[in-house]
A and B are shown apart, each in its own frame.
Chain A
Amino acid sequence: MTRVIIKRIGVFVCHCGSNIKATVDTAAVVDAIQSDASVVHAAEYPYFCAEGGQQSIINAVHAHALDAVVVCACSPRMHEATFRKAATRAGLNPYFVEIANIREQNSWVHKNKEAATQKAVQLARAAIAKVKRAVPLFPGESAVTKRALVIGGGIAGIQSALDIAEAGFEVVLVERTPSIGGKMAQLDKTFPTLDCAACILTPKMVEAATHEHIVLHTYTEVEKVAGYVGNFSVTLRKRARNVDMQKCTGCGDCYAACPVKRIPNEFECGLSNRAAIYVPFAQAVPNVPVIDRERCAYFRSGKCGRCAEVCQPGAVNFTQEDEILTIECGIIVVATGYQLLSPDMFGELSYHDSADVITSLELERFMNAAGPTGGKLLRPSDKQVPRRVTFVQCVGSRDTTRGKPYCSKICCMYTAKHAIAIKEKYPDSDVEIFYIDVRTPGKNFDEFYRRAVEAYGVRYIKGQIGKVVTTGDKLHLQAVDMLEGRRYNTTTDLLVLATAIEPARGAKTLAQMLNTATDTNGFFSEAHPKLRPVESATAGVFLSGACHGPKDIPETVAQASAAAAKAIGVLVKPKLVTNPCIAQVNETQCNGCTICNAVCPYLALSRDGERGCTTVNAALCQGCGGCAAACPSGAVDLLGFSHAQIHAEVDALCLQPTTHANAAPIKHTNNAHGGTTDD
């Protein structure tokens, strides 16, 4: 780094109209700071941020051959960028500008003009001291791999992948299960329009699979993530399907022939069975079966191979092994979605004791024309149409003792949807819903809920169920009606639990691989709750859908497209400009103890084994400076906020100008912080 000796500093004291001038004697500040030998020019002006003010700074830089500029004005959070640009226009390095905050942190918070003026002088001196130790900084550049990786093939991942692909970038879409589609593929209808989920989802699934820019890897999991924004390298494990994707025609002969048939079908929530070689559902994409090795007779005992015998194209391949793929990509979209909390811990609801207590997702399968009952709502115990159906809301949601503290957000709406669907199909049935609060904000949502109550006569009871007992073919419920203030005992034929949403299995592990944060509930954290809702705190990692928190479909799709837009914003850049205020290691001082490596939240520091010292990855470093503080020998420094600069500021603020002259001169030498600290 070229060391520029800063000898000629210009100080510009802004009045900010009367905002500063009313409390600070700006002329006195201009006078006082001129005692500093390096200050060759000092001026005041009503508004330095205005074009005329900026021009006067530029003129002064030229007229007085200034090396650096100190502006005493408003907060650097306000106009630091403005003055840095002005300095650049004047031919200075933008980091040769320091701001003394004499408005927000001085004139606006103090009333005593004398004290405020004195403080303004001190703040100006601190800024002068800091800028004297400035080094020219230049933003770095790093290349961008023009490829996106989308993790999760539900509606969120599909939407993000399609949007990025439509913008012309290559997308690798990774899905853990044998088919894309996610939770939405399991749904019957969607609220509040009651259009069929499959009808709107399956075209998108096909589009994603056939898009010229999308490479689909199903039955594939992320194993390792390395690199940084623009240059990620992700290791994928593509699990062996034992069916050749190229040869398979999707005829279905194999699963018809498979003798192992009684395996609970995960897609049907275990309500029907599948074979050991199977496609999860009829519209699966890709429509290629997969062999469940743990259940397959061939893999268990070596005796069978029926599927291979019947397969005309010879697609079944028992020798296929897991494949390890490495994907180079510029950005990563996380769309790992959610799963439902197990109702196991709510013993009083008898989910395990009674077949007629089901979850809402199971109800979706019963109501679905492609489901195990062909769309007929039949009680699991006796295959009869239930006369009365009871719903329980908030099973595990908003429950700080046994469940999750948050609202799962979609249950109120889908339960209203279920209630309407049941009343439509079986107008004679009786539907009641136990709720804590009904929450229906959203476009046409409350109207939908009111329709359930007013047009369909669905009964809403504010209260919760304390106990469920099976007697004969009935479920006896002990509940409380909180509005009536009484115990409410009733019987029902089918009990449906709206269980809480929780992050998908493995979300935490993935977050660790991506080195991004999750909240206390395990959902991925956004970089800023208001202003950066689809970015993670790790640059280049974006969040799409319910991996970030409970969401309904429109919200998921909106966030998926937003994440895609943000991702495209990175991918279109020819080069990424990096923050120049990053850590720097003095290799002659560093002894490679790696204490600093451990404090870095971005894994930007690593030890170079050959040289025995730590090196900084400029693209990963975000410039927090934790390493600089942690290094015991002072070998790590933070550009822009160097040890020498901070110490100079401390000295300027603590050594009072009045006592300074009387105090014994303090001798300074080059210290281990790598900079001279003399005043």
Chain B
Amino acid sequence: MINIVAFCCNWCSYAGADLAGTTRLEYPPEVKIIRVPCSCRVDEQAVLRAFARGADGVIVCGCHPGDCHYSTGNVHTQQHMHTLFGLLEFMGMERQRMRLEWISAAEGAKFAATMREFVAQVAALGKNTRYGATLDSAYDNTHAIKLNSATIKEANHAVHEQILPHMRARAEEKLTSGAVARVLAWGSGAFDPSPAPMLFTDTKTLARMAYNPFCAANHSKYLIEASRESGRTLVFLRPCDAHNFARLVTENQIRRDAVCAVGIACGGCLLETCHTCAKIDHPMVDETIDIALTDRTAANPDARFADIEHLDGETPDARYAFWQAHLTRCIRCNACRNACPTCHCKTCIRDGSHPMEHLHFHITRAFHQAGRCTDCGQCGRVCPQRIPLHLLNRKHIQITEEEAAT
């Protein structure tokens, strides 16, 4: 027997379910209702938990758009559930197991009919074994999908070489004048040529400053701490860094007045995301180094969703196998979380032990970036297991962009 959890808002859908009862409209007993004040109260954790504990289908019911008791709650429900369901589907869960439905307090008949239909739909699929109760370690990867990622194109090293002397000069000028206490830039360290973000406080060390196609780390996240130090911090931001910088300022994580932000052009680096990047602007920066600022790199933004569309074209089985093959290798080192500029919670909602931990961690991680992710690609870059995590983010970016377009 399958098991369905229905989250119903108190004002419309729960009352609609009551009306189905009052008018004795039958529907299968597989449906169990959880009352919430508003459908927007249902978060991704509740849905994921239901699946993790053995629900075979989850349906979220709320007031019709425009009728929300809390005026706009169901707008958020729609955005959240659309993204969550889209991500789960992308990861191989059958879409038919998830549903969002608007049912008013007057629509007892609609409630009963919807539940009958949903139960039949889920029953046709059988018990849920994906991201669900049965931890299936012996996954079938005969369907494993090969990604057709854009071939790595050459980064424009000339741009980097041109800009670097100006970065050093700007850093020297600001440090000498005392305008800033430190400079956040890439520096070549012990493992040259892979430069890492470094704080320069002394002009004598500026020779170690680097800017080349291996400068992959995103500066913005380092500013969270740097901006809390005394004195201002000079930072060099490429378009991707600058977009995340703006996001972190908006979310009150970076003290804007403690940062002197300098926008620099990007010659592209060796990340997969760089090759489909379209950003050339520097939101919120104080000044720029005006070299090749409007030059696009060799990036091909049109191919941004190529891998997503490729995976979407596969069957749920194949997608599930693809993600199982990758996600079961996850060692929960949290590198993706630590490197992600928009992952800045004090405590992570997925800390602690949960069943389906590594699977639901990644769904949650991606879901929480929806609408905030700037597609900087750090999550995929830092994964020691080479899990293509940026694809999950790309998926919700695609969903969000499609929704905005409609």
Give A residues with C-beta under 8 Å from B: 75-78, 101, 103-106, 108-112, 115-116, 118-119, 122-123, 126, 517, 537, 581, 588-595, 599, 601-602, 607, 612, 622-626, 628-630, 632-635, 638, 640-641, 643, 646-647, 649-651, 653-656, 659, 666-673
Distance (whole angstroms) from the CB of B143 to the closest CB of chain A: 28
For chain B residues 1-35, which have a beta carbon within 8 Å of chain A?
3, 5, 10, 14-15, 17-18, 20-22, 24-29, 32-35
For the complex of A and B, the 9 pairs showing the least CB-CB separation, nearest first, are: A104-B21, A625-B41, A633-B345, A654-B53, A629-B43, A624-B70, A108-B21, A626-B40, A593-B251
Distance (whole angstroms) from the CB of A396 to the closest CB of chain B: 23
Interface residue B205 (Cβ < 8 Å from any Cβ of A): no
Query: In the docked arrangement, what's the CA distance between A115 and B55, Å?
Result: 17
Pairwise interchain contact A126-B32, C-beta atoms closer than 8 A: yes
Query: In the docked arrangement, what's the CA distance between A77 and B344, Å?
Result: 40
Residues on A with C-beta less than 8 A from B69 are 624
Query: Contacts A589-B347, A633-B348 given: A626-B73 contact, CB under 8 Å?
Result: yes
Residues on A with C-beta less than 8 A from B71 are 517, 537, 601
Interface residue B353 (Cβ < 8 Å from any Cβ of A): yes
A628, A638, A653, A669 pick with most chain B CB within 10 angstroms = A653
Distance (whole angstroms) from the CB of A663 to the closest CB of chain B: 8
**Which listed residue, B26, B27, B36, B352, touches A625 by the CB 8 Å rule?**
B36
Residues on A with C-beta less than 8 A from B253 are 591, 593
Q: Which residue of A lies closest to B48 (CB)?
A: A650
Query: Contacts A104-B18, A588-B346, A654-B54 given: A629-B42 contact, CB under 8 Å?
Result: yes
Q: Which residue of A lies closest to B26 (CB)?
A: A109
Residues on A with C-beta less than 8 A from B55 are 650, 653-654
Pairwise interchain contact A653-B76, C-beta atoms closer than 8 A: no
Interface residue B166 (Cβ < 8 Å from any Cβ of A): no
Pairwise interchain contact B38-A626, C-beta atoms closer than 8 A: yes
Q: Name the prevailing secondary structure of the A interface residues.
A: loop
Query: In the docked arrangement, what's the CA distance between A371 and B305, Å?
Result: 69
Q: Name the prevailing secondary structure of the B interface residues.
A: loop
Q: Which residue of A lies closest to B72 (CB)?
A: A601
Q: Could you write out 20 A-B pairs with CB less than 8 Å apart?
A: A77-B10, A104-B20, A105-B21, A106-B21, A119-B29, A123-B32, A126-B32, A126-B34, A589-B347, A601-B73, A629-B44, A629-B80, A632-B345, A633-B346, A633-B349, A634-B349, A635-B347, A646-B36, A653-B32, A668-B352
Interface residue B45 (Cβ < 8 Å from any Cβ of A): yes
Pairwise interchain contact B252-A633, C-beta atoms closer than 8 A: no
Distance (whole angstroms) from the CB of B384 to the closest CB of chain A: 24
Distance (whole angstroms) from the CB of B69 to the closest CB of chain A: 8
Residues on A with C-beta less than 8 A from B54 are 654-656, 659
For chain B residues 219-272, which have a beta carbon within 8 Å of chain A?
250-253
Query: In the docked arrangement, what's the CA distance between A602 and B10, Å?
Result: 18
Residues on A with C-beta less than 8 A from B352 are 668-672
Distance (whole angstroms) from the CB of B357 to the closest CB of chain A: 11
Residues on A with C-beta less than 8 A from B15 are 77
Interface residue B316 (Cβ < 8 Å from any Cβ of A): no
A76, A108, A537 pick with most chain B CB within 10 angstroms = A108
Q: Which residue of B lies closest to A114 (CB)?
A: B29
Interface residue B50 (Cβ < 8 Å from any Cβ of A): yes
Pairwise interchain contact B351-A77, C-beta atoms closer than 8 A: no
Query: In the docked arrangement, what's the CA distance between A591 and B346, Å?
Result: 6
Query: In the docked arrangement, what's the CA distance between A667 and B33, Å?
Result: 26
Interface residue B165 (Cβ < 8 Å from any Cβ of A): no
Pairwise interchain contact B38-A625, C-beta atoms closer than 8 A: yes
Query: In the docked arrangement, what's the CA distance between A1 and B372, Å?
Result: 33
Interface residue B46 (Cβ < 8 Å from any Cβ of A): yes
**Which listed residue, B17, B29, B36, touches A110 by the CB 8 Å rule?**
B29
Query: Contacts A625-B38, A672-B349 given: A599-B21 contact, CB under 8 Å?
Result: no
Distance (whole angstroms) from the CB of B162 to the closest CB of chain A: 37
Pairwise interchain contact B37-A625, C-beta atoms closer than 8 A: yes
Pairwise interchain contact A647-B46, C-beta atoms closer than 8 A: yes
Known: A105-B33, A650-B55, A656-B3. 7 other contacts (CB 8 A): A104-B21, A592-B251, A624-B73, A630-B76, A632-B368, A649-B34, A655-B54
Query: In the docked arrangement, what's the CA distance between A669 and B344, Å?
Result: 22
Pairwise interchain contact A654-B5, C-beta atoms closer than 8 A: yes
Residues on A with C-beta less than 8 A from B252 are 591-594, 607, 612
Interface residue B157 (Cβ < 8 Å from any Cβ of A): no
Q: Which residue of A lies closest to B105 (CB)?
A: A77
Residues on B with C-beta less than 8 A from A630 are 43, 76, 80
Interface residue B355 (Cβ < 8 Å from any Cβ of A): yes
Interface residue B354 (Cβ < 8 Å from any Cβ of A): yes
Pairwise interchain contact A668-B353, C-beta atoms closer than 8 A: yes
Query: In the docked arrangement, what's the CA distance between A623 and B9, Å?
Result: 12
For chain B residues 347-406, which have a beta carbon within 8 Å of chain A?
347-355, 368, 372
Q: Which residue of B lies closest to A527 (CB)?
A: B69
Interface residue B49 (Cβ < 8 Å from any Cβ of A): yes
Pairwise interchain contact B349-A673, C-beta atoms closer than 8 A: yes
Interface residue B112 (Cβ < 8 Å from any Cβ of A): yes
Q: Which residue of B lies closest to A528 (CB)?
A: B69
Residues on B with C-beta less than 8 A from A592 are 251-252
Query: Contacts A110-B29, A599-B40, A601-B71 given: A672-B351 contact, CB under 8 Å?
Result: yes
Contact with A along B69-90 (1 / 0, CB 8 A): 1111100100010000000000
Residues on A with C-beta less than 8 A from B344 are 591, 593
Pairwise interchain contact A653-B5, C-beta atoms closer than 8 A: yes
Query: In the docked arrangement, what's the CA distance between A442 and B32, Å?
Result: 48
Query: In the docked arrangement, what's the CA distance between A144 and B26, Å?
Result: 48
Pairwise interchain contact B347-A633, C-beta atoms closer than 8 A: yes
Query: In the docked arrangement, what's the CA distance between A630 and B80, Å?
Result: 9
Pairwise interchain contact B5-A650, C-beta atoms closer than 8 A: yes
Q: Which residue of B lies closest to A638 (CB)?
A: B41
Pairwise interchain contact A643-B34, C-beta atoms closer than 8 A: no
**Which listed residue, B3, B35, B45, B372, touches A76 by the CB 8 Å rule?**
B35
Query: In the docked arrangement, what's the CA distance between A594 and B252, Å?
Result: 8
Residues on A with C-beta less than 8 A from B348 are 633, 672
B25, B32, B351 pick with most chain A CB within 10 angstroms = B32
B3, B5, B14, B45 pick with most chain A CB within 10 angstroms = B45
Pairwise interchain contact A624-B22, C-beta atoms closer than 8 A: no
Residues on B with C-beta less than 8 A from A612 are 252
**Which listed residue, B20, B45, B53, B80, touches A651 by the CB 8 Å rule?**
B53
Query: In the docked arrangement, what's the CA distance between A189 and B15, Å?
Result: 48
Query: In the docked arrangement, what's the CA distance between A370 and B46, Å?
Result: 68
Query: In the docked arrangement, what's the CA distance between A633 and B346, Å?
Result: 7
Residues on A with C-beta less than 8 A from B353 are 667-669
Query: In the docked arrangement, what's the CA distance between A595 and B43, Å?
Result: 14
Query: Contacts A626-B38, A633-B348, A672-B347 given: A75-B45 contact, CB under 8 Å?
Result: no
Query: Contacts A626-B73, A646-B46 given: A116-B38 contact, CB under 8 Å?
Result: no
Residues on B with C-beta less than 8 A from A649 are 34
Residues on B with C-beta less than 8 A from A668 are 352-353
Distance (whole angstroms) from the CB of A626 to the closest CB of chain B: 4
Query: In the docked arrangement, what's the CA distance between A634 and B46, Å?
Result: 12
**Which listed residue, A109, A112, A650, touches B27 by the CB 8 Å rule?**
A109
Query: In the docked arrangement, what's the CA distance between A521 and B194, Å?
Result: 60
**Which listed residue, B34, B38, B354, touches A624 by the CB 8 Å rule?**
B38
Distance (whole angstroms) from the CB of A664 to the closest CB of chain B: 9
Query: In the docked arrangement, what's the CA distance between A602 and B22, Å?
Result: 34
Q: Which residue of A lies closest to B70 (CB)?
A: A624
Residues on B with C-beta less than 8 A from A632 are 345, 349, 368
Residues on A with C-beta less than 8 A from B346 are 588-591, 633, 635
Query: Contacts A593-B252, A654-B50 given: A110-B33 contact, CB under 8 Å?
Result: no
Pairwise interchain contact A77-B53, C-beta atoms closer than 8 A: no
Q: Which residue of B lies closest to A674 (CB)?
A: B347
Distance (whole angstroms) from the CB of A370 to the closest CB of chain B: 44
